[in-house]
Structure 1
Amino acid sequence: MNNKNLSNVKIILPYNLLAEKLILGSILTIPEAISLVSEKLPIEAFYLENHQLIYKGLLILYAEGKTIDYINLITWLQDNGQLAKIGGSQVLLNLLSQINKSSNLEEYIALIYEKYLRRSLIELGEQIIETGYLTEMPLETIFRKIEQSFFVITENQPVQNLVSVEQGFKTVLKQIEHGLRLSEQPGLKTTFLELDLITQGFQNSELIIIAGRPSMGKTAFAFNIAKNIAYNHNIAVIFFSLEMTREQLLYRLLASEAEITNTRLRSSRIKRTEWVTIKNIVTQLSKLKLFIDDTPNLSIGEIKIKIKTLSFTLVDKINLVIIDYLQLLEGVEQNENRVQELAKITRSLKKLARDLKIPIIVLSQLSRNVETRINKRPVLSDLRESGCIHLRDIKGIHFTPLLPLFSWTGSFLSKHKISQIKFTGQKPTYKIKTLLGWSLLISSQHKLLTNQGWKKVEQLVGSNFIATKLLMPLNFSENFYSNSSLNWDKILKINYSNLLPVYDLQVVKSSNFLIRHLIIHNSIEQDADMVIMLYRDEYYNKGTVNKNIIEVIISKHRNGPIGSTNLLFDSKYLRFFNL
């Protein structure tokens, strides 16, 4: 066969034709199957182009709340000029004739997904070969691209999350039985007694955010925690420092333990007796299973690969990860704005904590709103850029700082002003209509207050009841409040609307606000299991009586109580002590 004939040969990649037909046929005959299939399979999981077009049409019908059947699907294909591309209406009739059983749906999904992952691996292999020839591209860039691509593939592996109550309780009883044998409750203790009493230690799969303004001591506090846990639990801890170099951190650690200032150590202005002390301390600290990575501009994929690589070289796995800090992490997709990017990063960090079954601590900056208040003590709404607050009112209201917004305190309505407005780009929006006639355009990740708690828009169904509040007309006094009762309004429809400009609103002192009488969540810490905030009154008030005191505020604790405790802060050697 000559080269010309070879060029015309089409390489067929792995796929399962029968499974693809059975899945599409199942959705057409059993419309409820779309909810399961849409969670497991992206459009690219189908190999044949006509199957991809059919599946895309089914997903759009599902998003728009329309009935999934042959008539609606063929109408959509005709309206969008896709019917001829799939091979005509006979292709759909053939799918309807497929023999299928809903009980086998998960098996068919797994068959399609397995082939999809194999095609992804083949594509990655081709990319590796191509980039290997690009001598003008630095090797570091090539390795980073390969690592990120490989991380995406491995992250997409299906995980069996469905277990019976019987199986689940077996695991729970084993955990309780194991806990009974321990002298103390499980969880990584920081050795800060009151903090450990409130948190019960850092638990596996938890995402913990330590937040504060600059100069509050976040890095010093986190590094103290890393050293304490590595020493007291004799476990492996990795500290990702995206801002400071490893030398800076090690000088800090040595200065703290030797009680010699960082300046003297760096300039080698030490006494002979101190030199002996330093060598002894270095010997002791070298026994710690504490690892430092100071690679700048890391992504979550690169962090995961580094953790797994290090775990392979150690006898024990990594038991705690600390990242300093959130705003310096890179997202994989560079085409998104930073607000969207960081929202994805926090969700990825939570998923990473669950996948690795270890606690992950990430440091975060707080917004400058703190500096504008008389009381500088931070609150949850001061967390910056770590969530999704995206909303555009359907009447086209232009939000300004002068526009008052009401928030629900749990007992009454309180009026606040918008502190900041950010345009966050074009996003898919959904139109919600209620029985009482209220309607709203909102992004899928946003939360509404329902009779079953806060739920994202993508989690809502037509039978849900959402909270509403009617405001007294023309009575917007500063002391306005209403009775403690909420009105519950039933959702009639949730339809996909369009890609529209959406905005990020920050409301002072509030984690929710009312738009068109619907209570909207304003949470930017939703992915964290625990949020710890640091506050030093001495930094703002030089005459304070609380000198050398740092307040550790547990503002959110998904699995326990909130509260605060004080620690003694040695600013000279950057150390923390129990009072």
Structure 2
Amino acid sequence: MIELFSIPTEQAVLCSFMDFAESGEYIEQMNAEDFYATKHQIIFNHIKNQHNKGEGHDAVVIWDRIRSNSLESSQVNESYIMELSSVMALPRLIQTHVKTLKDLSTRRKIAELSKHVSVIANDTTSYTAETAIERVQSLVSSLDSTVQTQGTFKISDVTRRVVSNVIDRHQKLHDGIDPDVDILKTGFIELDNKLDRIDPTDLIIIGARPSMGKTTFAQNIFLDLAVNQSKTVLFMSGEMSSEQIVERLISCLGQIPLKLVRSARFDNEGAGCIYRATDILNKCPIYINDKSQPSLADIRREARKVKQSTFGKLDAIVVDYLQIMTPPEKSGNKVQEIGDISNGLKKIAKDFGCPVFALSQLNRSLENRPNKRPVMSDIRESGAIEQDADIIMFIYRDEVYNKDSKDAGTAEIIIGKARNGSTGIVRLATDLSQATFCDLSPEYYQEQGLGGGV
């Protein structure tokens, strides 16, 4: 059996740390758990404490710290410290030895994790099959975070990358090439102009009261991503079945009333619309999961599956909707639970490098206001969502409240937060009978005196 530790390597590293003043960079990379031997963990803790205080940490200083603690001195004696200080250590090998210890430490964690997984698998009393999977995924996720490193970069290095990117984009513009061809867009011209861009790590919240069309709006966005931008999309639908979703997509793409698709009472022209829409959908990189009340672990699992089946390609995740998701821990505090979910969705966006669009319910209290247009505080359990989200949009259709509204057939997309863009209102045409939102014509803006749709 292969041993997942190396005592000689640990000794060489500790000797290097005590002998060479310039080893601070490597001390900062390591933790006590990277050492297998308990006595080495004790010694390293004192080395790191001295380093953090900006004080020296040779063999004499370290022994002085250890002998003042009876518990530690019972495990590490003076002769062992002196033995360590006599170990042959070469400065040029510190990096290699540290890398070896980090690797062995990670492998020990994996081995320990496998024991936990075995216990969970056999504990049929505490865990259902579903909760067992979630617990294992949580453990794996925590292991991921221990091996990820966050770098601190000199500003000149970051500046070099930024300027290089700017010059490359400028050159593409000069050559008549769209530099934003790979940037994700919603597919709505005025809305994209307002938002400027959707970054790969963005959490986008789409909030609305019932009947406003938030699911249809989200489906229109991911349909444009897949059909017109060739982006791979995962749609987590906690409310509708996959069949219902596809019916809506066919209605939208085929521009045929949804009720005709569902009832199958269409004529030959309608059949042609359905076949054309189906042909387009069959070529789309859209993946649908309709598990009710999905958890963060479910989303991570399905996202990994999509990436595996597409050789690493996943461009957007859509979640419908936030408030029916299963929280990581049921505390009974709905605000805390929703906060954990929104924070978890933001982490998923960062970890998978793709934006997450999450639909959200709004508080019923807005119905009691004369002006029923949503504002930030209307997001149900809103505190953490406002903080975690990069973009927050609301949908308002005046005809829902005013049957004789002059704005019937249109919707206001209210941008309440846009970290890199502009807040404000964008108007879109709607035909929910055909599951459609679309850009308004220039003539509409001229008639209404709206000046460019804002």
Q: TM-score, normalising length from structure 1?
A: 0.59
CA 381–195 in structure 1, closer or farther in 2 if over 3 Å, else same: same
Q: Counterpart of 1:195?
A: 191
1:574 aligns with 2:435: yes
1:323 alignment partner in structure 2: 319
1:212 alignment partner AA: A
- Amino acid across the alignment from 2:228: N
What is residue 557 of structure 1 aligned with on the other side?
A: 418
Change (3 A) 1:534 1:86: farther
| Corresponding residue for residue 119 of structure 1 | 108
Aligned partner of 1:531 in structure 2 is 392
**Equivalence for 2:224:** 228
Query: Is 2:178 aligned against 1:183?
Result: yes
Q: Which 10-residue stretch deviates more, 173-182 or 375-384?
A: 173-182
Give the conservation status (yes or no) of the 8 Å contact 2:409–2:430: yes
Q: 2:289 — aligned with what?
A: 293
Cα offsets for 1:383-435 (capped at 9, x unmatched): 333545xxxxxxxxxxxxxxxxxxxxxxxxxxxxxxxxxxxxxxxxxxxxxxx
**Shift in Å, 1:234:** 1.6
Q: Give distance in 1, aligned partners of 2:156 and 2:166.
A: 15
Report sequence identity in percent.
30
How big is the shift at 1:58?
12
Equivalent AA in structure 2 for residue 554 of structure 1: I
Q: Write out per-residue CA displacement over residues 119-167 of structure 1, whole angstroms, 9 at most, x where no aligned residue.
A: 2211222234445556787655544443332233223322242333343
Conservation of the 8 A alpha-carbon contact between 1:51 and 1:86:
no
Amino acid at match of 1:565: V
Write the distance in 2 (CA, Å) between the matches of 1:50 and 1:131: 32
Tell me which residue corresponds to 2:143: 153
Equivalent in the alignment of 2:336: 340
1:21 shift after superposition: 11
Provide the C-alpha distance between the structure 2 equivalents of 1:162 and 1:268, rounded to a whole number of angstroms. Answer: 60
Q: What is the CA-CA distance between 1:84 and the residue it aligns to?
A: 3.6
Q: 1: CA distance between counterparts of 2:40 and 2:383? A: 35
In 1, Cα distance between equivalents of 2:119 and 2:234: 34
How far is the alpha carbon of 1:282 from its aligned partner?
0.9
Gaps of 5+ in 1: 1-10, 61-65, 71-76, 389-523
Larger helix proportion of the pair = 2
* Matches for 1:480-519 after TM superposition, within 5 Å: none
Q: 1:19 to 1:355 in 2, by over 3 A?
A: farther
Would you say the 8 A contact 2:320–2:358 is kept in 1?
yes
* Residues 551 and 50 of structure 1: CA distance in aligned 2, closer, same or farther (over 3 Å): farther
- The root-mean-square deviation of aligned C-alpha atoms, in Å, is 4.7
Tell me the amino acid that sits aligned with residue 107 of structure 2. R
Deviation at 1:227, TM superposition (A): 0.3
State the distance in 2 between where 1:362 and 1:20 align.
Answer: 51
SS at match of 1:525: helix
Post-superposition offset of 1:301: 3.8
**Equivalents in 2 of 1:368, 1:59: separation in Å?**
54
CA contact (8 A) 1:298 1:330 kept: yes
3-state SS of paired residue (1:355): helix
CA-CA distance at 1:575 after TM superposition: 0.8
| Counterparts of 1:59 and 1:339, CA distance in 2 | 39
Cα displacement (A) at 1:19? 5.8
1:62-461 map, 5 Å = 84=71, 87=74, 114-131=103-120, 140-179=130-169, 180-181=171-172, 182-183=177-178, 185-186=180-181, 187-314=183-310, 317-334=313-330, 337-385=333-381, 387-388=383-384
SS in 2 for 1:228: helix
Tell me if the contact between 1:58 and 1:68 (Cα under 8 Å) persists in the aligned partners: no
Partner amino acid for 1:551? E
> What's the counterpart of residue 391 of structure 1?
none
Q: Does 106-115 or 117-126 show the bigger shift? A: 106-115
- Can you give the 5+ residue segments of structure 2 that lack an aligned partner in the other structure? 58-65, 441-454
Alpha-carbon distance in 1 for matches of 2:338, 2:414: 23
The SS at the match of 1:156 is helix
Once the two structures are TM-superposed, the CA of residue 221 in structure 1 deviates from its matched residue by: 0.5
- The equivalent residue for 1:425 is none
Q: Deviations over 1:305-348 (max 9, x none)?
A: 32233223225711122122222333444568443343333333
Q: Corresponding residue for 1:444?
A: none
Amino acid at match of 1:195: L
Question: Could you tell me the TM-score, scaled by structure 2's length?
Answer: 0.74
Q: d(CA) in 2 for partners of 1:143 and 1:375? A: 46
Q: Is the Cα–Cα contact under 8 Å of residues 208 and 528 in structure 1 kept in the other structure? A: yes
1-structure distance, mates of 2:244, 2:190: 29
Q: Secondary structure at the match of 2:152?
A: coil
Give the whole-Å Cα distance in 2 for the aligned partners of 1:21 and 1:385: 54
Count of residues in Structure 1 that have an aligned counterpart in Structure 2:
424
